[in-house]
Amino acid sequence: MQNPIHFTALKTIWIKECTRFLRIWVQTLVPPAITMSLYFIIFGSLIGSRIGEMGGVSYMEFIVPGLIMMSVITNAYSNVASSFFSAKFQRNLEEMLVAPVSNITIILGYVGGGVARALLVAIIVTLVSGFFVELSIQNFGMIVITVVLTATLFALGGLLNAMFAKTFDDISIIPTFILTPLTYLGGVFYSITLLPDFWQSVSQFNPIIYMVNGFRYGFIGVSDIAPETALGVLLVFNIGFFVLAWWLLKRGTGTRT
């Protein structure tokens, strides 16, 4: 009897989350397309024409996977962080916590909504990039696995942020001071092989390096990180974040007053 209840709850939360961002699609789906178009024009067409090639391909082809991944990271994170905190702020979360719904179901429902938005944005940005460069696909499976794991990871990250946040301002602290620097230093616009040996070693501690390079490998077959290593790091972070989110929700951290 429990399984149908949990499935219904999971489906309800997921549909609610998807409806939430689809209802305001002009604010959630259009801005990433416009922002990435500007990146393609400025960094790809204008600056890229001066740089020439990187990693054996044109600079535009090199940065496209990284720009798509930037959109995935931002949207997966922001969707769950804002939605979960809004549920806390409006006291809607308490109704779910007292209902016969498991913590795993709640986590999967919110994360599923963030992943859905991130994947939809990824498709839109990929289509937009087709107007600027002819994309090639070397390993479709690697593309799908990497983007899903990355979207899941940052959706979980948004959930963790929302648990600890006490005000709406707290939600913007992590993206502003941690995610943005890590993303720009995550090999989106350059190959880490261009860095001195010391900074190449330091870059290995940036998890976004693995996501961007794993995704890039799927498109152009070029990567600064071994694909197996990239997937391994993603799996470890996903498992760690999921267990941490479940443990915090079980303890009531940030959800019980």
pLDDT digits (tens, 9 = 90+) for 123-137: 999 999 988 888 888
**Is residue 140 assigned to a domain?**
yes
**Is residue 30 assigned to a domain?**
yes
Nearest to 238 by CA among 153, 150, 113, 157: 153
| Structure tokens belonging to residue 141 | 């499976």
**Is residue 54 assigned to a domain?**
yes
**Is residue 122 assigned to a domain?**
yes
pLDDT at 97: 77
**Is residue 257 assigned to a domain?**
no
Strands (E) in 48-137, as ranges, are 53-54, 57-58
**Is residue 256 assigned to a domain?**
no
User: Which strand (E) or helix (H) includes residue 4?
Assistant: helix 2-23
Average pLDDT of the residues of the chain: 89
Percent of the chain at pLDDT > 90 equals 53
Q: Is the pTM of this model over 0.85?
A: yes
| CA 20 – CA 28 distance, rounded (Å) | 10
Domains in the chain: how many in total? 1
DSSP type of residue 46: I
pLDDT at 3: 67
Cβ neighbours of 136 (radius 10 Å): 10
Instruction: Work out the average pLDDT over 169-198.
Output: 87
Helix (H/G/I), strand (E/B), else coil: 121: helix
| CA 147 – CA 125 distance, rounded (Å) | 13
Nearest to 63 by CA among 46, 47, 43: 43
